Amino acid sequence: MVIEGKTVFLKNNLKNRDFLTLMDYTKEEILYLLELADYIKKQKQAGNVFQPLKGKTLGMIFEKASTRTRVSFEAGMYQLGGIAIFLNSKDIQIGRGETIADTARVLSGYLDGIMIRTFSQETVEELAQYATIPVINGLTDMYHPCQVLADLLTIREVKGKLEGVKLAYIGDGNNMAHSLMIGASMLGMEAAIASPIGYQPDKEVTETALKLAEKHGATITITDDPQEAACQADIIYTDVWASMGQEEEQTKREKDFQGFQVNEKLLSLAKKDAHFMHCLPAHRGEEVTAEVIDGKQSIVFLQAENRLHAQKALMTALMG
């Protein structure tokens, strides 16, 4: 593929590959996807037609509610020349007991790719095991690789680089913390994850991130001190304190996460040109104040827009 007058070569062809976690890909392959996303975004901004997926169909299985994931994938497929089919898990037979394996085999005969947004990472992995078409992880409780692909695109866009950039994540050690750690470690960044005791990232994921960081010259720090993490950061990032499926823990989490709110005082510890990011939806007054998320350092809506461009690049690479 030619991008900006240069030919980009991949060590491994991404066509027909699954995208279950960022760990499934090499550093070079992730950078390729970012280059492709940047190219696709510029084509759209210039009003040029770029439709490598004419005649292709993406099935989108949703077990969790969605705004950005659904709209970006659906609009992205349309803009690439294909179509996307929304499949609510309650409306298809998987919601009535049909096995994941049978669903994967059936959909493989109809579609060119599957995106699934669900709870269990094992569900995504089983779907990919039995499908003969690419499977994309739109979100699980363990990982959110599509979001982080767009986040990396956004950070590189505003900072001009990824290597050496310090990202401070303040909040629950959840799927966002996991994927941000993996992405940062593979791209030579510095990631500081600040979570309350009892809410820190999964130990196995952390160990994997540390090994990747050593390989790629990155730095990963896990702490329970938000101020320590935020100090001299280029990016301050947060997420909701109670994710989907954790609503009954809301009151307890509000108490346990006191001191982990991203506010102007915490943001002032970062570099003067630091930016604020949030994967959205946000709860103003909880994990972030309105002054920060709506302030001049916030890039949350650029970040949200880049979900479209990053996912168009991903679908082009896997299905084109």
284 is a catalytic site residue: no
Residues making up the binding site for L-ornithine:
175, 239, 243-244
Start-to-end Cα distance in the chain: 12
Q: Is 70 a known active-site residue? A: no
DSSP run (H or E) holding 208: helix 203-216
Q: Which two tokens stand for residue 94?
A: 């998987």
Active site residue 303: no
Q: Which of 17, 38, 79, 147 is labelled catalytic?
A: 147
**Cβ(163)–Cβ(58) below 8 Å:** no
Greatest Cα pair distance, the chain, in angstroms, is 55
Which candidate in 279, 303, 309, 311 is catalytic?
Answer: 279
Q: Which of 178, 253, 278, 307 is catalytic?
A: 307
Which of 17, 18, 112, 144 is catalytic? The answer is 144
Among 18, 79, 117, 278, the one annotated catalytic: 117
The residue from 156, 172, 239, 303 that is catalytic is 239
Verify whether residue 144 is a known catalytic residue. Answer: yes
Residues annotated within a binding site: 66-69, 93, 117, 144-147, 175, 239, 243-244, 279-280, 307
Active site residue 275: no
> What is the chain's Cα-based Rg?
19
**What SS3 state is found at 262?**
strand
Q: Parallel, antiparallel, or unpaired for β 219-223 and 190-194?
A: parallel
Is residue 112 part of the annotated active site? The answer reads: no
**Can you say which residues are annotated as belonging to the binding site for carbamoyl phosphate?**
66-69, 93, 117, 144-147, 279-280, 307
8-state DSSP, 200: P
What is d(CA 193, CA 180) in angstroms, rounded to the nearest whole number? 9
Active site residues: 117, 144, 147, 239, 279, 307
